[in-house]
Amino acid sequence: MPSSLVIDRRITFRGDALYRANIRDLFQEEKRHDSDRFTGIALDTTNRWAVSVPGTSDTIAISEVVGGSALITTGTADNDSCMLAGAIIHNGTKLSVVEFRITITDVTGCGVFVGLSDAKSEANGQIALQYPSDTFTSTATSAAGFVIDADHSTSSIMCASVNAGSDTIPVDTGVDWVDGETRNLRILVDTSGNAIFVIDGKVVAQIQSAVAAGTLHCPTVQAITRANDGSNTIRVHSFDSWQDD
């Protein structure tokens, strides 16, 4: 038996191994792994998540559905915005990886940013990265992630960033988000501050020097009401992050 074993993709347990204890001794992850499946009775806004709901009747709370989720409900006024964010502890020097699994109910009625930002919240009417009046706009000083915005002329998922106050060139993935669709969105930031964007397990874009590698960021999902469409919902099913110790 070799002292180390290289696996290209994954280890799959089958048959009885699915139902029985199948790992003996220590099975320790090398990277620091944080995870939330939103299975609690209430969202932990004291120690785990920062919630910002400055709009009209906007809410972010646990929604007791199969498997658990956090439900973001945007405000009733046009351009009301709200944010869900974790701790500001991620950067490229630790090879940070962040992933959210979300469902957007009405893509034509809202804007959504999913990724990393240097701030847990923005003022009402703003999200970290967005396309108000079809113009790419960064509110955060440092951020990288996915933008899906009804104010944008294309319905494609965009990958974008801002590095120390300077916008990079957004990348159009060519992937459209359909109403009610669920997707996994993952972003990786390396030691040079380059960002790799992954949708449902497939790399869709890369941005060089997307952010400064040493700048600390928080994982976040941010949403904004568009087109005077009233409240819309974004369901966050899961969150995972990995970084070096």
Break the chain into its structural domains and give their ranges.
Answer: 33-243
pLDDT above 70 as % of the chain: 97
pTM of the model: 0.93
At residue 19 the predicted structure's pLDDT band, cuts being 50, 70 and 90, is low
**Tens of pLDDT along 54-79?**
999 999 999 999 999 999 999 999 99
Rounded CA gap, 41 and 108, in Å? 31
pLDDT of residue 20: 65
pLDDT of residue 202: 96
Q: What does the angle CA 139 – CA 144 – CA 146 come to, to the nearest 5 degrees?
A: 95
Q: Is the pLDDT of residue 1 over 90?
A: no
Rounded CA gap, 137 and 38, in Å? 31
**Tens of pLDDT along 106-160?**
999 999 999 999 999 999 999 999 999 999 999 999 999 999 999 999 889 999 9
Average of per-residue pLDDT across 166-178: 97
Residue with tokens 């108000």: 132
At residue 23 the predicted structure's pLDDT band, cuts being 50, 70 and 90, is confident
Average of per-residue pLDDT across 178-207: 97
At residue 18 the predicted structure's pLDDT band, cuts being 50, 70 and 90, is low
Q: What is the DSSP string of 60-95?
A: EEEE--TT-EEEEE--SSTT-EEEEE--S-B-GGGT
pLDDT of residue 7: 85
204 close to 221: Cβ distance less than 8 angstroms:
no
Q: Is the pLDDT of residue 22 over 70?
A: no
What is the CATH code of the structural domain delimited by 33-243?
2.60.120.200
Q: Name the average pLDDT for the chain.
A: 94
